[in-house]
Chain A
Amino acid sequence: MQAMDKELMQALVRRAGLDKALAEFPDDVAAAAEQAAKVMARIKAPADPRAEPWPAMRPGDGL
């Protein structure tokens, strides 16, 4: 994933309701957006699209 462009970031900020944070801490919001973009780029998608996600919690005698 490419670094997030400014327009996309601002659209996501509005959607998330982070306008106040953007006004007061623009560098922190930009850093958070960049971090989100970068971290997804490091995950390999499972080759099989049918692969299950781990049920968030599956407590029992085992996991």
Chain B
Amino acid sequence: MNVGIEAGQGLHYLTVTALAHAIAHRQLSPVELMKAHLARIEKLDPRLNAFIRLDAEAALETAKAAEAEAIAGHLRGPLHGVPVGIKDIIDVAGLPTTCHSKILEGNLATSDAVCVSKLRQAGAIVVGKLSTHEFAIGGPSFDLPWPPARNPWNPDHHPGGSSSGSGSGVAAGLFPMALGTDTGGSVRNPASCCGIVGLKPTYGLVSRRGVFPLSFTLDHIGPMTRNVEDNALMLEVIAGHDPLDPGSAAASGGRYCAALDRGAKGLRVGFVRHFHEVDMPAEPEVTAALEHVMRALQAQGADVRDIRLPSLGEFAAVNRVILQSEAWAIHGEWLRTRPGDYGKLARRRLMPGAFLAAGDYVLANKRRLEMIAAVNAALAEVDVLLCASSMDPACRMDRPAEVERTYPRQARTPFNVTGHPALAMMSGLSSGGLPLSVQFVGRYFDEAMLFRVARAWEQVSGMDKKHPPIG
């Protein structure tokens, strides 16, 4: 098999769609593809720490089986032979799910999470388990059994989190797609910091079964890829009702790739300016990039108007009260008996739940209902919302005060609170050579609209062609 590219050269930045197509048409060997990625991982991961556990031997064996199947004309599905990385709070049978924490060191998963099982059924090959903030909340931390992941655009900088290894590895070409989870923005933050595409789907669209919870009513599982089409393809594979997940939506998954190229003409876009202009004033470069995205969509024929929502500060507070109350119900016993086995950041971010009352949790949920109504009202006027994701480019990791300052400066938590689908992607590059970001938000289960507008921006901007200057 030969894809027309010299041995391994350039394979690491091919898209999922291109790789799957080449494998399906016997132009590319899954074994050669896996070897190329393993070589790149060996070369770059010592600088990036995207992996907690690389499963090279099993990945190569599976690639050999995938090659034999492809030669025999048997393709498992649309991801046949394509490598995927899995955030280490998601179960992969036979591998530990550590949640990047000493608390769960050696916690062997006996079966695949539903999302992993669906990826495997579609032919994807799990290459390993990826770094995360501890329990998807405490990071970046240097007091854990494994080091934190780093940003391939500049390894001195934070890759975002909590799906840090997923963002870092996809951007660096260690694997073309990854799974992340998002409770307060943890798919969209690394997507924003690392310049890739990250989707938090509608609440309940992707099964949470087999994923270690952080907050039952805020947790989402989402695809992370280098372009919009791959993201849509990955969502097609992992979406769908799961009768054994009590939070699973009855709605079935959609055909998200079908309407990708319809463009922005005629779309009504609501620009939520007050998030980044008033509530949390963004860095000027971030603001300029958002204006650029808005004008680019206008130039394609979109009708852009301003939209107001509740303030970011209040969205964040509601998210925190719900998250910390639910997380306390998960971590309380370990925090009582093994507080020293958590890193400092996780300990500080998980213990507030001990100091919140039942009435606080109910009040936050009452306000949540009003916030849902506000976002639904906005989305009755427009087809999609455009807003900031991160208010700053990724900061240096060796400056804890700067990490602490910039970490909450984001507009992602609103859509965990409300459950609406939200996609973050690159809007440009900062003067320091780091990705800037934009976020699109849609109606419940209208991920197709998000992909459509995101694709329109991607095609006019060429953001999917920009890669970090590494390796």
Mark B400-434 against chain A: 1 for CB-CB distance below 8 A, else 0.
Answer: 00000000000000000001000000000000000
Mark B244-261 against chain A: 1 for CB-CB distance below 8 A, else 0.
Answer: 001111110000000000
Range for the number of chain A residues in contact with chain B: 35 or more
Q: Is the CB of A61 within 8 A of B250?
A: yes
**Residue of chain A at shortest CB distance from B317:** A42
**Residue of chain A at shortest CB distance from B311:** A42
Q: Is the CB of B249 within 8 A of A16?
A: no
Q: Is the CB of A45 within 8 A of B367?
A: yes
CA distance in complex: A40, B363 (Å): 9
Within 8 A of A (CB), among B334-382: 335-337, 339-340, 344, 347-348, 350-356, 360, 362-370, 372
Q: Is the CB of A28 within 8 A of B348?
A: yes
Q: Is the CB of A45 within 8 A of B204?
A: no
Stretch of B34-42, B109-117, B163-171, B318-326 that contacts chain A: B318-326
Task: Report which residue of B249, B250, B344 has the largest number of chain A beta carbons within 10 angstroms of its beta carbon.
Answer: B249
Q: Is the CB of A63 within 8 A of B204?
A: yes
- Is B313 interfacial (CB-CB < 8 Å)? yes
**Residue of chain A at shortest CB distance from B354:** A16
Q: How far is the CB of A39 from chain B (nearest CB, A)?
A: 5
Q: Is the CB of B355 within 8 A of A33?
A: yes
Q: Is the interface of A mostly helix, strand, loop or mixed?
A: loop
Q: How far is the CB of A20 from chain B (nearest CB, A)?
A: 6
Other-chain residue from A16, A57, A61, A63 in contact with B336 (beta carbon distance below 8 A): A16
**Residue of chain A at shortest CB distance from B246:** A57
What A residues does B362 contact at CB under 8 A? 53
Q: Is the CB of B352 within 8 A of A35?
A: yes
Q: Is the CB of A25 within 8 A of B366?
A: no
Q: How far is the CB of A19 from chain B (nearest CB, A)?
A: 8
With A24-B340, A62-B445 already in contact, the answer to whether A36 and B355 are too (CB < 8 A) is: yes
- Is B217 interfacial (CB-CB < 8 Å)? yes
**Residue of chain A at shortest CB distance from B365:** A53
Q: Is the CB of A57 within 8 A of B369?
A: no
CA distance in complex: A32, B246 (Å): 30
- Is B314 interfacial (CB-CB < 8 Å)? yes
Other-chain residue from A21, A32, A46, A61 in contact with B352 (beta carbon distance below 8 A): A32
Q: Is the CB of B314 within 8 A of A43?
A: yes
Q: How far is the CB of B236 from chain A (nearest CB, A)?
A: 19
Q: Is the CB of A53 within 8 A of B368?
A: yes
Q: Is the CB of B321 within 8 A of A54?
A: no
With A24-B340, A57-B216 already in contact, the answer to whether A31 and B348 are too (CB < 8 A) is: yes
Given contacts A28-B347, A59-B248, 8 further A-B contacts (CB under 8 A): A18-B335, A18-B336, A21-B351, A25-B344, A28-B339, A53-B368, A59-B204, A59-B247
Q: Which 10 A-B pairs have the closest CB atoms?
A: A53-B365, A32-B351, A36-B355, A42-B317, A16-B354, A21-B339, A36-B352, A17-B336, A59-B249, A59-B204
